[in-house]
Amino acid sequence: MAEIARIYPLKRQLPEPLWRQVLGSRLRSLRAKRGETLAETAERAGISPQYLSEIERGRKEPSSEMIAALAGALDTTLADLTADVTEDLRRSQREFRALANKPAPLPQPISPPARVTRAPSVPDVLALAA
């Protein structure tokens, strides 16, 4: 006995950005505004350039002490850095909600296959199979 399958349209779900991703983006932006390399900023913060790179790419979740050290190395305060990251998160959340509520585009109609006016010959079938 056959059962009826119910198919529901998928909602477009974009992952909401994580704190560490937004923090990393903000740190990279601050470093770029100063025209510094990873090595220069990392040295002042007391961390390796590789670790700073991972933080900037949102791969690592730095401790609060590390965030404070990076804020100091970039001549900002922990409070200002946190406020900026919070505002970036709010902005991306608004964009996320706007995209989630945007209706999905209608699918394009599929054109019907070309009509065959004659029965395919053996060479035609072999050519299609190749």
DSSP string, 14-80: PPPPPHHHHHHHHHHHHHHHHT--HHHHHHHHTS-HHHHHHHHTT-S---HHHHHHHHHHTT--HHH
Reference 62, options 40, 39, 85; nearest CA is: 85
Domains in the chain, ordered, with CATH? 19-94 (1.10.260.40)
What is the percentage of the chain residues whose pLDDT exceeds 90?
56
Copy the structure tokens of residue 47.
């961390």
Q: What is the pLDDT of residues 47-97, one digit of tens each?
A: 999 999 999 999 999 999 999 999 999 999 999 999 999 999 999 888 877
This prediction has a pTM of 0.66
Nearest to 41 by CA among 79, 76, 83, 17: 76
Confidence of residue 99 (pLDDT cuts 50, 70, 90): confident
Least confident range of 15-19, 64-68, 96-100: 96-100
Low-confidence winner among 60-64, 92-96, 103-107, 115-119 (lowest mean pLDDT): 115-119
Q: How far apart are CA 72 and CA 1, in angstroms?
A: 70
**73, 39 contact by CB (below 8 A):** no
